[in-house]
Amino acid sequence: MNEVIKGAGNPQSLAHGGWHILREEVSFPVAVLSQSAINNNAKWMSDFCQKAEVNLAPHGKTTMAPELFNMQLEHGAWAITLATVAQVLNAVNHGVKRIILANQLVGKYHFEQIANLIESTDVEFYCFVDSVENATQIGRFFDVRKVSINILLEIGAQGGRCGWRDLSNTDAFLAACKAHPSLKLAGIGFYEGVIGGSNALEKVTNFVEEIYQLASTLKKQNVFSLDNPIITGAGSAWYDVVAKTLAKHNHQENFNLVIRPGCYLIHDTGIYQDAQNVVMARSQLACDVTGDLASSLTVWAYVVSRPEAGLAIVGLGKRDVAFDAGLPKAELIYHVDSHTLKAADALIETVKIMDQHAMLTLPDNCNLKVGDMVCFSTSHPCLTFDKWRQVAIADDDWVIRKTISTFF
């Protein structure tokens, strides 16, 4: 028997006209990307980076979908960022040629995998390192293998996660690098998204300023292996601030400035829409880019039960959609009997979610029936994508034209 994957329909039908969601030609629930929305988002961020004079290395952990990586690269991305060695290898297997591992490379097996990768391919690989211990471990292994590896000194914020904390004294780290010929210090990396609380904008700006000054000092000391060393930071919340802060100094220094937002391509109607609203409110440069980011990901599900007045149960659960940063929001209703598609009443609310079901409370006048379809938007696309081995891509008429695979 052939394997059956959720969110799929008849393969022959997909090849000859697509799967019509509203004609019930696909298994529900189904995760769907809007082709027009991802096209818009890819272009918007590309245009932003050009105006901001920075390169883009979007974080691939959001989708782990190589077809989307290729789309981002086609729109001018300089590299793809990843978080684990397994993610790196999957990306390379699908043709990605330049990768930033925005994480620590730790462990003998991982060293072996990356050394083999560097020896056997033309992939340009960089990884974060934030300690003398890790630099020494990597250096010893790669020295023996006689393989050079590009590393980026990761700087971390106080109270954050990884990253070297003492910007005033990196001597011990630099000495560890110098002791191992295989280590090529290619620049500095950081992640500012852990900075919050009061005066977050000022704190992030100062953090990035300090990192730029450190990079400038180290460049004058000729410790970097590249003529244009890399400075890379920025998640999806502060990319405008990072780009502006770095670029304002860079006309004399010629660093390769690289930002790494991951969620822009998919976007959402929750935490990343909130973050983008803040970006648009504070960044004139972002406002100068035509249009804005748009939520591209929806998940469709059937109403499976109306057990009580004012309550509907839909066939959508924690195994299908993110729930860590807000519950899915009903956006569209399709009434199967009348063949009508309309915007969902704003009073419809997802109040609870379980493994395979979600509970919706309904206003008194809502005529939702068993068998009707509900289209949900989501918050935090990373944790929807990792629940799907394939994601559909549809046109604006809700016809699925193709599917893409994920490799989590």
Say what the pLDDT of residue 256 is: 97
CA atoms within 13 A of residue 122's CA, in its CB half-sphere: 1
What are residue 190's DSSP bridge partners?
Answer: 155
- Cβ neighbors of 119 (< 8 A, separation 6 or more) are 145, 147
H or E, element range at 34: strand 30-34
pLDDT in tens, 296-340: 999 999 999 999 999 999 999 999 999 999 999 999 999 999 999
Tell me the average pLDDT across 107-116: 98
Tell me the average pLDDT across 349-360: 98
pLDDT in tens, 392-404: 999 999 999 999 9
Cα angle value 355/358/364 (rounded, 5°): 165
Q: What is the mean pLDDT of the chain?
A: 96
Tell me the average pLDDT across 98-124: 98
More confident residue, 264 or 2: 264
Nearest CA-CA partner of 23 in 403, 402, 400, 404: 400
State the pLDDT confidence band at 281, using cuts at 50, 70 and 90: very high
State the pLDDT confidence band at 355, using cuts at 50, 70 and 90: very high
- Cβ neighbors of 390 (< 8 A, separation 6 or more) are 5, 7, 8, 403, 404, 405, 406
Q: Report cis status (omega within 30 of 0) of the bond before 328.
A: no
Query: Any idea how long the chain is?
Result: 408
Nearest CA-CA partner of 298 in 400, 218, 208: 400
State the CB neighbour count (10 A cutoff) for residue 28: 19
More confident residue, 196 or 100: 100
Per DSSP, which regions of 191-348 are E strands?
A: 230-233, 256-259, 297-308, 311-314, 329-335, 340-343
Is residue 262 a contact partner of residue 25, using CB atoms and an 8 Å limit?
A: no
Q: In which order are the strands placed within the sheet that holds 256-259?
A: 55-56, 256-259, 230-233, 183-190, 149-155, 124-129, 98-104, 80-82
Cα 99 to the chain's mean position, in Å? 14
Does residue 221 have a pLDDT over 70? yes
Q: Tell me which CATH homologous superfamily contains domain 35-271.
A: Alanine racemase (3.20.20.10)
State the pLDDT confidence band at 3, using cuts at 50, 70 and 90: confident
Tell me the average pLDDT across 223-231: 97
Phi, psi at residue 47, to the nearest 5°? -65, -40
pLDDT in tens, 10-24: 999 999 999 999 999
What residues does CATH 2.40.37.20 cover in the chain?
8-33+294-405
- Cβ neighbors of 81 (< 8 A, separation 6 or more) are 57, 58, 59, 60, 61, 99, 100, 101, 102, 260, 262
More confident residue, 3 or 72: 72
Tell me the average pLDDT across 124-152: 98
Say what the pLDDT of residue 261 is: 97
pLDDT in tens, 234-280: 999 999 999 999 999 887 778 999 999 999 999 999 999 999 999 99
Say what the pLDDT of residue 249 is: 86
| Amino acid identity, position 231 | I
Which pTM was predicted? 0.96
Q: Tell me which CATH homologous superfamily contains domain 8-33+294-405.
A: D-serine dehydratase-like domain (2.40.37.20)
What residues does CATH 3.20.20.10 cover in the chain?
35-271
Sign of the CA dihedral running 296, 238, 186, 47 = positive
Distances in whole angstroms, Cα of residue 360 to Cα of each of 309, 333, 352, 370, 381: 11, 13, 7, 13, 21
**Out of 208-222, 247-261, 357-371, least confident range:** 247-261
Say what the pLDDT of residue 250 is: 80
Sign of the CA dihedral running 397, 399, 401, 404 = positive
| Spatial distance between the Cα atoms of 216 and 222, rounded to a whole number of angstroms | 10
State the pLDDT confidence band at 4, using cuts at 50, 70 and 90: confident
Nearest CA-CA partner of 231 in 48, 57, 50: 57
Say what the pLDDT of residue 253 is: 79
| Spatial distance between the Cα atoms of 343 and 30, rounded to a whole number of angstroms | 19
Does residue 1 have a pLDDT over 60? no
Say what the pLDDT of residue 384 is: 98
